[in-house]
Structure 1
Amino acid sequence: MRHFTFLVIWILLTGSLHAAEWSPAKAPLMTRWAKDVSPEKVHPEYPRPQMVREKWVNLNGLWDYAILVKEKLPPELYYTYTAFSAAFADRPTSWDGKILVPFPVESALSGVMKSVPDNGRLWYRRSFATPEMPKEGRLLLHFGASDWETVVWINGREVGRHRGGYDPFTFDITDALKPTGDQELVVAVSDPTDGSFQPRGKQVRKPNGIWYTPTTGIWQTVWLEPLPKTYLRRIEIQPDIDQQTVTVTTYLGGNHKGFDFWEIGFDVRLADGQHESSRMKEDAKRGIPSGIGGGLNIKSPRLWSPEQPFLYDLELTLSLDGKVVDRIKSYCAMRKISLGKDEHGVNRIMLNNKPLFQYGPLDQGFWPDGLYTAPTDEALRYDIEMTKKLGFNMIRKHVKVEPDRWYYHCDKLGMLVWQDMPSGDKHAAWDPFGKHDNTEMTRSGQSAQNFKDEWVKVIGSLRNHPSIVMWVPFNEGWGQANTVEVTKFTKRIDPTRLVNCASGGNDFPVGDVIDVHRYPGPFAPKPTSDRAAVLGEFGGLGLPLEGHTWQGKDNWGYRSFTKKEDLQKAYVGLLGALRPMIAQGVSAAVYTQTTDVEIEVNGLMTYERAVLKMDADVIGKAARKLYLPPPKVTTIVPTSEQIAQTWRFTTDKPADGWQKPTFDDSGWKSGPGGFGEPSTPGSVVKTNWKTDDIWLRREFDLKAEGITLNSLHELALRIHHDEDTEVFLNGELIAKTTGYTTQYVEVPLDEATRKLLKSGKNTLAVHCRQTGGGQYIDLGLVDVEEIE
């Protein structure tokens, strides 16, 4: 009893000591999960869900840290001063304090919230006890991610170095261990952020606009894993729904000597509870191949989809001379992503051989208190759950790679993922209208090789996740170089997924999709015979909410609002305009964005995830409507896209009542649409218009066109405007648009508009006002019929 009392007092005392050593710093915003973070409870979950072993040691928690600064270096010499040049003798003689790993040093949850100078190096230190190990076993040290260059010492002996901020890496530290006592672990990290060419995503040393606070050093879980002398090092899982098989390829690590034969067992638990197993057994004298593949039959498979994300349990064993020495638990899914033609011959993105429209948010993965690192696993999962609740079936992970558990949650919850490669180096010339297609920058040989090396490692670390359906190596020209080569080798190393060569422009005729960005949009790119069309970014509707912004003023969105009601109306309107574009061939769309990020306030949620800015039921219903079969669109009043339509027009302000059917427009000019400047993107100008204002009128006759009022469904304008318009039907205002479009779009109209139509003659009138830049106006009227 006395011993138990002493143990309780010791636990309480050491806990209070940790509390005294660490407390979170105060960021401008903190999430509700920050209160759940402590040195004793910091990302305790198993970090690698597709290769689970029972024994492991989590090294997250309090470490010593120090930031050492050398003499100021000119930019051209910075690259020579890196972690790779660090020697153990350079380690700090004293430490600055404690840091809570795995939160980056710049974050509030690290307890430090300091930046590392350009000529600085971040050092870490902690000790650990050697875990129980099998005879002749090996001890592996795993890092989920550390940005950017990392060197590791155990007991003063260098055990490895790694370059890359987004891929996991492992060192075998067995031979550096002391036979008894605690082991010392020291880590040095250097990160030039935007001072060099390495992949960095949106990290910059001076945050502004769409560029954010950097992450330096360790930002994912660090852990130990005791293993036998020969072990399962890596697995690759390849499902084939057409052949109803799954192939698992295993790669061995450690010492392959000292036994006569090896055997690898594969076992998958089927949907009905039965098991399908296979064994591969070979004479060890023949050597061990680099990859050992085993096939399993999955008859009548349950296919994985966002609606039914079924996962099969998978177990692998390694036996040496008949004795099981290693066992891992994993999972797999029967899922196929491909391109195919729909019933109209249009190229579409297919999931499991069927067209599925993909709609998701741009997700940047930043947190106000943890930056690159979510405060907890619950927080990490929450974003995905909210995304699904709001009607999305896909997430575009934007120029960042997440911890393995994020993709695990997507696998479990049913969320498709487009995975970007984090950008780096400089930017190529770019605009969103295709003026720089087939344009790219030139990287140095060192920069190009570094990009390729890390991209290959990122793909290799994530390729088993069924949720990932597309790789995106470049975005908006950021670091875009060798586009054709990069796209082709991406497809070579993973032919099972789609490749998006360049999201948002600077397109090359390679890869599986054509991807454009339009703000606010939407926009309908045209598919080709060998590529599907996707809207890679649109929206960006902003609403700053007092008490929930990164700074008090000067926050921004691509188009800002002051009221939730107006934001919601605009968002639903964007989805209404997107809906008919699906019938025109659009296979997917990405809305910007999941949350506010620093001074960007165009999130569906505030940065700290405290407030959802719109009604979940309303916007969820609008999103889920996108997955219905494409509607049938019938022209009532044609635009001038194909054949020029005649309008009456004037550029002089007309008398009151100009929009009414009884108005005498005989004094107006007559001319073909559209009206504007030929240089305006997406325009079809037949009549030049250069003044600030133009007024248009046109008469149409439903009876003459054979259209009855009872045959109509939901009306929409088909309009291309630059800039603001007021549209009238039979003298009544039916729509007001602001800003500009870069192509023809559908604007849904309400039931009251349909009631304004007459069975005979009707009058359509519009006023368009221009303030600067391009100018254009043309419009028509269409009927939209939902297909059951």
Structure 2
Amino acid sequence: MKALFKIFSVSLIALLGLSMAYAQEEYQQPVISSPWSADVNKDAPHPEYPRPQMEREGWVNLNGLWDYAILAKGSDMPQNFQGKITVPFPVESQLSGVGKNVGKDNELWYFRKIDINNNQRKGKVLLHFGAVDWEAEVFVNGQSVGSHRGGYDPFYFDISQALKRGKSQEIAVRVWDPSDDGPQPRGKQVKKPHAIWYTPVSGIWQTVWMETVPETFISNLKTTPDFDRNLIKIKPELNGNPTGTKVKVTVLAEGSKVAESTGDLGDELEIPIPNARYWSPESPFLYDLKVELVKGNSTLDQVKSYTALRKISMGYDSNGNQRMLLNNKFVFQYGPLDQGWWPDGLYTAPTEEALVFDIVKTKEMGFNMIRKHVKVEPARWYYHCDKMGMLVWQDMPNGDHGNAWEHRLGIVGKGTERDRTAESEEIFRTEWKSIIDANYNFPSIVVWVPFNEAWGQFKTKEITEWTKKYDPSRLVNSASGGNFIIDGAKITGDMIDLHSYPEAVMPDPGIYGKDNIIVLGEFGGLGLPIENHTWQEKDNWGYQSFKNKKELSDRYAELIETMEKLIPKGLSAAVYTQTTDVEIEINGLMTYDRKVVKFDEKLMNKLHDKLYKIKVNLK
């Protein structure tokens, strides 16, 4: 997000000068914290099962107190440590108990002992990490079991061969994160926070856990709804020696079996659903799945999952404009830009209740969509969106900035593409694929957004076309508010996305609407600082600031009134900036600590309901 237009009193130069206090070794700890900060159990934070799309018994949560050390890059594994860190909170955060900077010249080490009993050794032992920013090497009993690069995707290692005799085992993790000194995806993180750029997030920031699996086990599921044919496609992936085995899938609705299918390994099973029930924001119906690996009459492995019948597509309205369709009907999609930051946990919500709170409040305010902005959430966040019927646009976290961008009111973005190194390109491609793979099964996700505002944007046409081919079940917003690659009037990807602050505007449908879905990818940014609920006492900002809630609400109502007139002309979706205040930004629907909602929820519902009731006829 940027202040893009001259109508703002705050210039970009002035904006960049507003920095929170910064020290080389320690980050300023906030004077505010969320209501859930006091609820964090340091010995067992985030105890919930972390992978709801593929749940099995026989797992152990490894969150809690670990030893840590920050050492010069390239140092040997430490024998002594500097203190305790609460996993999975990033080391810079208040809830980690550390609050220190790491930087490109240092590495962060984690260490803890675990117990593994004889029952857990019957098969393979897998060590899982929800997310570690950015490069991680994992050691078990001093032996390296694998490395991973990528701050936003889950990974695991089979540690069976590294286990020693007896119960007690040792785990160590080495992490290096260059933040904005490296080319890797990093979202809004910078080593010196200022303006719209925030405190770095280094190290483990999602749940660490261990599970025991059979020698041959189900390693992944790929679930694709076929709405028009009322069937669900499921392709299991296996690890081990599957000779003589088959896969059995049972589909359940509210606990009762509605369909079942058995197939050979490697097959994609197509399972017809009788009396199909569909998923939508108004009725988010989910089917439960039981997936079994069977051999004769024996079940070798079993996982629980879920799916939904829903379709996201595009089609023409009666005026010849492309529209975004849900289940073959026009549904105006409207939601906030959601960055998922916390004053006490940074990237990591304090508790499960806190994680769910933002989605609940978004729903209560009458939004039906969330744009998850240059961050990827833990799997449980998407699980709750699935359950509550919240549509999600998922951004790829940006990195490797440097290309130019020009954007003027009502004009699509134009600029240069970043000339990345081969290493930088490979890092992006690898992590983008991993993010899509990890989140493919969540029905709430309906749009992929590879680039935002030309931040590190490169080879746009190639990346967009790869994304569309790799996941044809969703729409692709190639460059939200960014540098569009235009072939005539056709934008690469499915939509043209304009950013405008604060006004609600849209690209000219007469030029772009015949080939592209028209969306307003960011607008609003109306600011209201609430005393005793800001990251710092002064120098906070919004794109347009107000003195009280009434002024704020009245201006918001004006924006909605303007948007009402745009929908019949061709607008299919809009994104309001933003869910909460973040650090020195005070343009949230709620304060950064989530203790104050700045808008009346009933009024918001009334305003938004008018948007959804606008009738658009389809061809």
User: For structure 2, which runs of at least 5 residues remain unmatched after alignment?
Assistant: 1-27, 486-490
Q: Determine if contact 2:187/2:399 at 8 Å carries over to the other structure.
A: yes
Match of 1:405 among 368, 371, 380: 380
Alignment deviations for residues 385-429 of structure 1 (CA, whole Å, 9 cap, x no partner):
000111100000000000000000000001000000000001321
In structure 1, distance between residues paired with 2:414 and 2:31:
40
| Residue 34 in structure 1 maps to residue 37 in structure 2 | yes
Deviation at 1:325, TM superposition (A): 1.2
| Residue 618 in structure 1 maps to residue 581 in structure 2 | no
Q: Name 1:688's counterpart in structure 2.
A: none
Deviation at 1:240, TM superposition (A): 0.5
Q: Determine if contact 2:407/2:414 at 8 Å carries over to the other structure.
A: no
Match of 1:150 among 133, 136, 156: 136
Q: Name 1:334's counterpart in structure 2.
A: 309
In structure 2, distance between residues paired with 1:273 and 1:573:
48
In structure 1, distance between residues paired with 2:442 and 2:407:
31
| Residue 197 in structure 1 maps to residue 183 in structure 2 | yes
* Structure 1 residues 132 and 239: CA distance shift in structure 2, 3 A: farther
Q: Determine if contact 2:412/2:481 at 8 Å carries over to the other structure.
A: no
Q: Name 1:574's counterpart in structure 2.
A: 559
Q: Name 2:292's counterpart in structure 1.
A: 317
In structure 1, distance between residues paired with 2:159 and 2:295:
23
Q: Name 1:772's counterpart in structure 2.
A: none
Match of 2:497 among 504, 507, 515: 515
Alignment deviations for residues 726-752 of structure 1 (CA, whole Å, 9 cap, x no partner):
xxxxxxxxxxxxxxxxxxxxxxxxxxx
Q: Give the greater-gyration-radius structure (CA).
A: 1
| Residue 361 in structure 1 maps to residue 336 in structure 2 | yes
In structure 2, distance between residues paired with 1:492 and 1:312:
26
| Residue 127 in structure 1 maps to residue 113 in structure 2 | yes
Q: Determine if contact 2:393/2:445 at 8 Å carries over to the other structure.
A: yes
Alignment deviations for residues 480-528 of structure 1 (CA, whole Å, 9 cap, x no partner):
0000000000011100000011000311121000000000010022243
TM-score by length of 1: 0.72
Structure 2 letter corresponding to 1:309: P
Deviation at 1:234, TM superposition (A): 0.2
Q: Determine if contact 2:452/2:481 at 8 Å carries over to the other structure.
A: yes
SS of the equivalent of 1:32 reads coil
Q: Name 1:164's counterpart in structure 2.
A: 150
User: For structure 1, which runs of at least 5 residues remain unmatched after alignment?
Assistant: 1-24, 71-85, 282-287, 633-788
* Structure 1 residues 41 and 156: CA distance shift in structure 2, 3 A: closer
In structure 1, distance between residues paired with 2:62 and 2:255:
39
What is the aligned-residue identity percentage?
Answer: 54
* Structure 1 residues 592 and 528: CA distance shift in structure 2, 3 A: same
Q: Name 2:261's counterpart in structure 1.
A: 278
Q: Name 2:393's counterpart in structure 1.
A: 418
Deviation at 1:445, TM superposition (A): 1.1
SS of the equivalent of 1:189 reads strand
In structure 1, distance between residues paired with 2:427 and 2:616:
47
Q: Determine if contact 2:93/2:345 at 8 Å carries over to the other structure.
A: yes
Within 5 Å, give how 1:376-775 maps onto structure 2.
376-433=351-408, 434=411, 437=414, 439-508=416-485, 509-525=491-507, 526=509, 527-630=512-615
TM-score by length of 2: 0.91
SS of the equivalent of 2:567 reads helix
Structure 2 letter corresponding to 1:327: Q
In structure 1, distance between residues paired with 2:611 and 2:538:
36
Match of 1:48 among 42, 46, 51: 51
In structure 2, distance between residues paired with 1:40 and 1:254:
35
Q: Name 1:774's counterpart in structure 2.
A: none
Match of 1:346 among 311, 316, 321: 321
In structure 1, distance between residues paired with 2:344 and 2:233:
42
In structure 2, distance between residues paired with 1:269 and 1:100:
38
Q: Name 1:68's counterpart in structure 2.
A: 71
Q: Name 1:243's counterpart in structure 2.
A: 229
Deviation at 1:254, TM superposition (A): 2.8
Deviation at 1:435, TM superposition (A): 6.8
In structure 2, distance between residues paired with 1:228 and 1:298:
31
Greater relative contact order structure (CA < 8 Å, 6+ sep): 2
Alignment deviations for residues 594-639 of structure 1 (CA, whole Å, 9 cap, x no partner):
000000000000000000112111122111211012499xxxxxxx
Q: Name 2:216's counterpart in structure 1.
A: 230
Q: Determine if contact 1:215/1:371 at 8 Å carries over to the other structure.
A: yes
In structure 2, distance between residues paired with 1:435 and 1:619:
29
Q: Determine if contact 1:362/1:593 at 8 Å carries over to the other structure.
A: yes
Q: Determine if contact 1:270/1:298 at 8 Å carries over to the other structure.
A: no
SS of the equivalent of 1:407 reads helix
Q: Determine if contact 1:337/1:351 at 8 Å carries over to the other structure.
A: yes
Q: Name 1:706's counterpart in structure 2.
A: none
In structure 2, distance between residues paired with 1:537 and 1:277:
44
In structure 2, distance between residues paired with 1:437 and 1:409:
37
Q: Determine if contact 1:271/1:302 at 8 Å carries over to the other structure.
A: no
In structure 2, distance between residues paired with 1:614 and 1:268:
42
Aligned residues, how many?
Answer: 580
